[in-house]
Amino acid sequence: MVDDEASANPAVMEEAAKGRPPIGTEYFVERGGRPLLIKKQVVLTGDRLTDAQPGFDGQTQEPAVHLTLDSAGARIFKEVSRDSIGKRMAILLIEKGKGEVVTAPVIRSEIGGGRVQISGRMSTNEANDVALLLRAGSLAAPMDIIEERTIGPSLGADNIAKGFNSTQWGFVAIATFMMLYYLLFGLVSVLALSANLLFLVALLSLLQATLTLPGIAAIALTLGMAIDSNVLINERVREELRGGSTPQAAITAGYERAWATIVDSNVTTLIVGLMLLIFGSGAVRGFAVVHCLGITTSIFSSVVLSRALINVIYGRRKKLAALSIGQVWKPGIAMK
């Protein structure tokens, strides 16, 4: 309880500030800077507090803090509040022998049931702070800070930059190989791969997902898996050309016959990604989310989008002499 009579006496407070408080009291300063004399007899301790949450006064709609006491604390507080209406009760946070007055509200009426409300002249942020301090003060175990360090963001930024650079150079290497080896069909594969990255980033943005290092690694893996589907399609088209099919028939058969293989390989990988998502945690789940999204976008871009681009290029030409898909070996023709 607050010794209001002594706290209102300037001479007594001046002596208390010098370390000579009245007998049975202690000198404290509120969080706002106002000095108080608090009686040494403790009414309740933090182990009687079960919860403290910020909220609002049901009548005035002012910010408030709602406390919940256990059964023993509720009984004690009911008796004290009945005998102390109009007086102030201070709530102290004591850590390593040093005390601080969190708040010192006036008891307005008898309070029973173990539910206490602290309100009046506080903002929403102050109510949140008081509730947080009260919950921290109710912990039974003390906290000793053994070591404290401040870690800057430069290390994480450097790692993320390296992850982006590796993904970028990986994309450049894949694009170069595909265009040199498959010519026009390789260029179409690179365009489909670029669209796959755009789709993946768009989905992550739509889900408001944070891109971390495991997510960047999953994007790099998605690049390899997405271009693998285009390699299957291009090689299937080459096989049809080697078998004597016309260019238009080779395109149609290549996409249709590669579809089953692409679905099988991606579905099995998707199953593993879902298992990581379900049973994993932390960075593993972040990797699994990007990995699963990348598989779905890669199937669409490598099959649907690349087929659409090929149809735009070759669809209107009924009589095709050849396809720009690189070297095609045919039976009876020696390779040089």
User: Each residue of 6-60: pLDDT tens digit?
Assistant: 888 888 888 888 888 888 888 888 767 788 888 888 888 877 888 888 888 777 7
The confidence score (pLDDT) of residue 187 equals 92
The predicted pLDDT at position 150 comes to: 67
Sequence ranges of the domains in the chain: 42-137, 158-314
pLDDT confidence tier of residue 158, bands split at 50, 70 and 90: confident
Q: pLDDT tens digits, residue range 49-101?
A: 888 888 887 777 788 888 888 888 888 888 888 888 888 888 887 766 677 78
Tell me which architecture the domain covering 158-314 has in CATH: Up-down Bundle (1.20)
> How would residue 335 be classed by pLDDT, with cut points 50, 70 and 90?
very low
SS3 assignment for the chain = CECHHHHCCHHHHHHHHCCCCCCCEEEEEECCCCEEEEECCCCCCHHHEEEEEEEECCCCCCEEEEEEECHHHHHHHHHHHHHCCCCECCEEEEECCEEEEEECCECCCCCCCCEEEEECCCCHHHHHHHHHHHHHHCCCCCCCCCCCCCCCCHHHHHHHHHHHHHHHHHHHHHHHHHHHHHHHHHHHHHHHHHHHHHHHHHHHHHCCCCCCHHHHHHHHHHHHHHHHHHHHHHHHHHHHHHCCCCHHHHHHHHHHHHHHHHHHHHHHHHHHHHHHHHHCCCHHHHHHHHHHHHHHHHHHHHHHHHHHHHHHHHCCCCCCCCCCCCCCCCCCCCCC
Quickly name the fold that domain 42-137 has.
Gyrase A; domain 2 (3.30.1360)
**Does residue 249 surpass a pLDDT of 50?**
yes
Rounded mean pLDDT of the chain? 81
The model's pTM: 0.51
- Mean pLDDT across the stretch 227-247? 87
